[in-house]
Amino acid sequence: MIGIHYRWLKKYGTDYAPLLQFLLQIITHKFCVKSNTLSINLLYPVEVRFARYLLSVPIEEWDSANKEQISTSNLLDAANMIGTSYRHLNRVIQQFCKEGLIERANGFLLIKDKEGLTKVASGTPSE
């Protein structure tokens, strides 16, 4: 949040409307993008959303030693991003572990079956 005291606006320029318009444009754009993303995203089950998340995580977030694992410290952020609770995300992770798609060990999630994860991400029901 940015706070600019009115006296500074008055002191450094009488026409501060362009600054306010600029800030409002940025905020409304972010709200529209977030709203559209959530609207589309919430049409799919959490399993599909999480599989898509795992497959789309930027390379910088993957562990440098093993490109197929991600730190579990990011799971709260992941839960918020895909629109679910941390507890429900943990249930989905346990389900993926039972299905052999991923493995949870030493503070990391390891992708074991990328093809299976891709199938889940596509929304195709498993056989």
User: Are residues 45 and 82 in contact, defined by beta-carbon separation less than 8 angstroms?
Assistant: no
Q: Is residue 21 part of a domain?
A: yes
Same domain, 14 and 52: no
> How many angstroms separate the CA atoms of 9 and 90, rounded?
48
Pair 108, 69 in one domain: yes
Whether residue 28 is found in the same domain as residue 88: no
pLDDT score, position 95? 97
1: in domain:
no
**Do residues 6 and 20 make contact, with C-beta atoms less than 8 angstroms apart?**
no
Identity (one letter) of the amino acid at 64? S
Q: Which domain holds residue 10?
A: 6-39
Rounded to an integer, what distance in angstroms lies between the CA atom of residue 57 and that of residue 81? 12
User: Residues 9, 16: contact at Cβ < 8 Å?
Assistant: yes
Residues 32 and 93 in one domain: no
Q: Domain for residue 127, yes or no?
A: no
- What pLDDT score does 63 carry? 47
Whether 33 is covered by a domain: the verdict is yes
| Residue 66 within any structural domain of the chain | yes
pLDDT, one tens digit per residue, over 32-53 is: 887 877 777 778 899 999 998 8
> Which pTM value belongs to this model?
0.63
CATH number of the domain where residue 89 is located: 1.10.10.10
